[in-house]
Structure 1
Amino acid sequence: MRERGGLWRLADYRWWFAADTSGALSGSVIAFAMPMIVLAMTGSSLVALIVEAGCVVVQTLVGLIGGVVQDRYDRKALMMVWGLSGFVLYGVSAALIVVAIGSGSASDAARPLASAPWAVGAMILLVLLFSVRDGLLENTSNAMLRGVVPDADLPHAMAVNDARDSTVTLVGGPFGGMLMALGRAVPFVAGALLGAVGALSAWRIAHYWHRDPAATQSDSSDSSVLSKAGDDETGDALPRFRDAFGGLIWLLKDPFQRHLSIAAAAAAGAGNAILLLTTIEASQGGTRVISAGFVDAATSVGTLVGALVASRLIDSIRSGALVAAMFAMLAVGFLGAALAPSMPVKVAFVVCAVLAMPAGNAVLGGLSNLLVGKDKLGRIEAGGTLLQYGAYGLALAMSGMGMQWLGYRGTCLALAGVIAAAAVYALSMRALLTLPTPDHWGDHVTAWHIATF
């Protein structure tokens, strides 16, 4: 039986968590502030949206190279570089904002304040550098997690991360708004300080998996799943940059992973599109009952509640049942949101839809991590991210056309249908439905001949 609170007794995990949380909070604050700064400097919402879209594309494509970087080099060092580069880039951005548009509050954000083209060009260049940094290094902490905590604690650590991410989402916007009220450069100063905290916290991590041939034998896991991964722990075969698509290819080539990855990406993409449409409907639908911001906040609350319960469920309920509950609640919840007559009822259905996500994500993430060698986690993260962004982009394209032809309700019904189809597709695998609790995953993988990478 797992010892209660054992995860937090690991000093290295606590330092990892501090570093990861610093990065998550700084990212949330900057993501809130940056579009407002670009809008203030250009006076064009179109330019702000184009820059934002370009950043997503750059981050996603560079992320494929980032996966190789994270698998090839020491992840503790990369986490330190991640924090220090944030300190430098956010600090330079704060200085540029003060010089170019002054340190006033966000109340003037809708007015163009920088007439000098060099200032606009410099800020856009910095924003693109943010995206390159994110693509290369942002997923390093996720890839490093399994090298910090025991395999048995990995699903619980992922549930904790879901709770943390929901909390950051809840407080990130208001916190960023408060900082913007103090001054346009203040969010970037805060981001720089958080970057320094993240680098210092990463530096304090002492025991973790890394490529060290001398430590190959002592570092090998006792998990029967990992023992089947061949020589992936030896560190002898360094990944090459032409291997950038290796993770994506394996996710789509292996039948079990392909089934699961496509279903998860489709459900997540359609669900996020419904959330975006619901937010737009709340802000433009002529109702004052619920603000657009409250839609995101309520979703975060639902995820946070689910994450707080997830750790208690992972050890006591079969993992297949938790995954089935996640897909079922996503389908039913978002279908109810599409059919609900009022905005408060829609939000209530959305909250119900995401309640089981943390437990299901912890199971799927923990299982996928255990099927993959520690030296390949970066490329798997990059491949999964590309699938998720691709599915979300396709869902948004469908939504744009659907809103013109079908309206809000019809479009959300179509997207809910995609989620239902993804749920049926995923749950048609008996190997997934019969997945036991984490302590029996090794035997299950052997019995069902599930491939490792």
Structure 2
Amino acid sequence: MSNITDRTTAFSPAARATHTSLWSRPQYRAWFTADTASAVGLAMKGFAISLVAFSLTHSLPAAGWLATASGIAAQVADVFGGTLVDRHNRKRLIILNAICGTVLWGAVFVLLATGLLTFPVFAVAIVTASTVNGLLGSATNAMLRSIIPTADYPKAQSLNQGRDSVIGLVGSPLGGVLYAFGAWAPFAAASLMYAIAGISAGMLRVDEHVRDMIDRNGERDAANDASAVAHGSFVDDFVAGWRWTLRRRTLMAICVIAALLNFGINGIFAAVQLQLVGSGVDSVRIGFVETAVGAGLLVGAVIASRVCDRMAVGAGLVVMSLVALATMAPMLVSHAYPVILVSSLLCGLPIPTLNSLVLGFVFAKVPTDMQGRVDSFTNLLGMLPTMFCSAIAGSLLPTIGFRATATLFLLALAANVAIVLTVPTVRTIPAAAHWDEAEL
């Protein structure tokens, strides 16, 4: 969903107890630190990629297609990465991903600082980093199931939503300031953040040999502690994951909804960023667009912390779909900078609640040993159209202009509203207390 995080979880006694129990766990603190450092590193370098690509080529299509190539590489790798994550030690994969991020972004930093970076080298570095992250990146989320009980996941997801909101608030403006200081600076910061992620992951102490026997309440099944579940071949596990995923009708409907939402929202924001870059808007002002989104997400995370335990998933999907369409529609009238900022802020409001509900529901219904595969397969299905957003926006903007380009993405949001309102199995997904009664 948004693929794209709440520190303000709660003022009810029950919620406060969950909040305390999460932070009292050293393993969760180490996991959260590693995940946060990676997210900060992603924000630092993600902001600068389009700017550096445009500065090297002076071409909006080239900048857009590089982002698309990066997304394709990540998604293709992620298809196989989920099976890899389910078959191997997740802690080691997290550390390996952090090492690769440190080395690759450190190399980009050095080449930029010395004036030796060319567009082909930059493109290879971007695609390579995306491929590695696609293969190994899902290990972090998959490992969470071995650290906390399922009942705590909605609150943990709210924490993540709040965390990501703060990163959105400060990450892009900081990236803009760093870029204004030197084009190499965001990549130096990203390299440092990935190094911190690797060190934090090294502090994790989780017995992954019994992760497959942790039941949906987060407790070990003592009868099965004696032995671990044996895996078949890589191909067998890969096919089994796809078979399990494709047979879940409600999950498939959620993937279609996610695909339309992601394509519409990310497509408009890709068009906004490229329009601003091509218009010569300075990097700091471009960064404040992400700040507006982050502000909306932060307020939304406060809302999510109060309602995610009680709101029905189906109702959340209906609200998100309608709000996404309504908040993006003003850009058809005007793409003035203030309009972009207000629409960006409002669009972020419902996302944390939706993510907490939908991701929590899927998390609770997917077996522990399938977490990596189902996550990677649903990511592919939900993000497949989104991989082409930057390329589409970069290709259409010079020919048909911003308003017509935005219209294309708004049509996807309108189609999503129609689907959410007409598919009963999605619209009737209940609140967390009744998830055991629902079918995935």
TM-score normalized with structure 1 length? 0.79
2:178 is aligned with 1:159 = no
Q: Equivalents in 1 of 2:185, 2:315: separation in Å?
A: 46
Q: What secondary structure does 1:206 align onto?
A: coil
Distance 1:357 1:123 in 2: 32
Work out whether 1:59 is the aligned partner of 2:59: no
Structure 2 residue runs without a partner (length 5+): 1-13
Confirm or deny that 1:84 pairs with 2:83.
Answer: no
Relative distance call for 1:406 and 1:177 in structure 2 (3 A) is: closer
Aligned AA for 2:268?
I
Where in structure 2 are the equivalents of 1:31-70 lying within 5 Å? 31-35=46-50, 50-70=65-85
Check conservation: 2:260, 2:412, Cα contact below 8 A.
yes
Q: Name whichever of 378-387 and 29-38 sits farther off.
A: 29-38
Label 1:123 to 1:298 Cα distance change in 2 as closer, same or farther (>3 A). closer
The aligned counterpart of 2:170 is 171
Q: Can you give the 5+ residue segments of structure 1 that lack an aligned partner in the other structure?
A: 102-112
Deviation of 1:351 (Å): 2.8
Contact 1:72 1:239 in 2 (8 A): no
Alpha-carbon offset, residue 55 of structure 1: 2.5
Percent of counterpart pairs with the same letter?
A: 26
Partner of 2:323: 329
Measure the CA separation in 2 of the matches of 1:362 and 1:317.
Answer: 10
**1:374 matched to which residue of 2?**
368
What letter is aligned with 2:200? Answer: S
Amino acid at match of 2:262: A
Aligned amino acid, residue 389 of structure 1: M
- Does the CA-based 8 Å contact 1:248-1:382 persist in structure 2? no
* Residues 146/337 of structure 1: CA separation in 2 closer, same or farther (3 Å cut): farther
In the alignment, the residues of structure 1 paired with residue 330 and residue 249 of structure 2 have an alpha-carbon distance, to the nearest angstrom, of 32
How many residue pairs match? The answer is 420
RMSD: 3.7
Letter in 2 for 1:179: L
SS class of match (1:317): coil
Separation in 1, partners of 2:388, 2:135: 24
Partner deviation per Cα, 1:63-119 (whole Å, 9 max, x = no partner): 212111111111111111122222333334444445x52xxxxxxxxxxx66xxxx7
Give the Å deviation of 1:37: 5.1
Match in the other structure for 1:145: 144
Equivalent residues in 2 for 1:21-420, closer than 5 Å: 21-35=36-50, 50-98=65-113, 100-101=114-115, 123-207=122-206, 210-212=208-210, 217=213, 219-222=214-217, 235-238=229-232, 240-241=234-235, 243-244=237-238, 247=241, 250-279=244-273, 291-339=285-333, 344-345=338-339, 347-393=341-387, 408-420=402-414
Could you tell me which residue of structure 1 aligns to residue 11 of structure 2? Answer: none
Amino acid at match of 1:140: A
The amino acid that maps onto 2:260 is: A
1:423 matched to 2:417: yes
Larger radius of gyration: 1
Structure 2 CA distance for aligned equivalents of residues 341 and 87 of structure 1: 37
| Cα distance change of structure 1 residues 305 and 258 upon mapping to structure 2, 3 Å threshold | same
State whether residues 280 and 292 of structure 1, in contact with CA within 8 Å, keep that contact through their aligned partners in structure 2. no
TM-score, normalised by the number of residues in structure 2:
0.81
1:104 is matched with which residue? none
Partner AA of 1:388 in structure 2: G
| Native 8 Å contact 1:247 1:381 kept in 2 | no
**One-letter amino acid matched to 1:53:** T
SS in 2 for 1:87: helix
The residue type equivalent to 1:12 in the other structure is Q
| 1:105 corresponding residue in structure 2 | none
Partner amino acid for 1:366? Answer: G
Query: Structure 1 pair 44/236, CA: closer, same or farther in 2 (3 Å)?
Result: same
Q: CA deviation at 1:142?
A: 1.8
- Match for residue 10 of structure 1 among 10, 22, 25: 25
Does the 8 A contact of 1:91 with 1:188 survive in 2?
yes
Answer whether contact 1:248 1:384 (CA < 8 A) is retained. no
Q: Secondary structure at 1:205's aligned position in 2?
A: coil
In 1: Cα distance, 2:176 partner to 2:274 partner: 20
1:317 CA displacement:
3.0
Partner of 1:19: 34
Alpha carbons 1:329, 1:354 under 8 Å: kept: no
- Structure 1 residue identity aligned to 2:45: I
Q: Post-superposition shift, 1:15?
A: 1.0
The CA distance in 2 between the partners of 1:404 and 1:190, in whole Å, is 33
CA offsets per residue over residues 319-363 of structure 1, 9 Å max, x none?
A: 332232222212222234434696534543443333111101111
Cα gap change, 1:340 to 1:53, in 2 (>3 Å): closer
Q: Is the 8 A contact 1:299 1:350 kept in 2?
A: yes
**Is the Cα–Cα contact under 8 Å of residues 247 and 382 in structure 1 kept in the other structure?**
no
Contact 1:323 1:359 in 2 (8 A): no
Q: CA deviation at 1:36?
A: 5.0
Between stretches 88-97 and 141-150, larger displacement belongs to: 88-97
Residues 51, 277 of structure 2: 8 Å contact kept: no
Output the CA distance in 1 between the equivalents of 2:97 and 2:305.
Answer: 29
- Higher relative contact order, chain-length normalized (CA < 8 Å, sep 6+): 2
The verdict on how the C-alpha distance between 1:240 and 1:275 changes in structure 2, with shifts beyond 3 A counting, is same
Partner of 1:194, secondary structure, is helix
Is the alpha carbon distance of 1:273 and 1:312 closer, same or farther for their aligned partners in structure 2, counting shifts above 3 Å? same
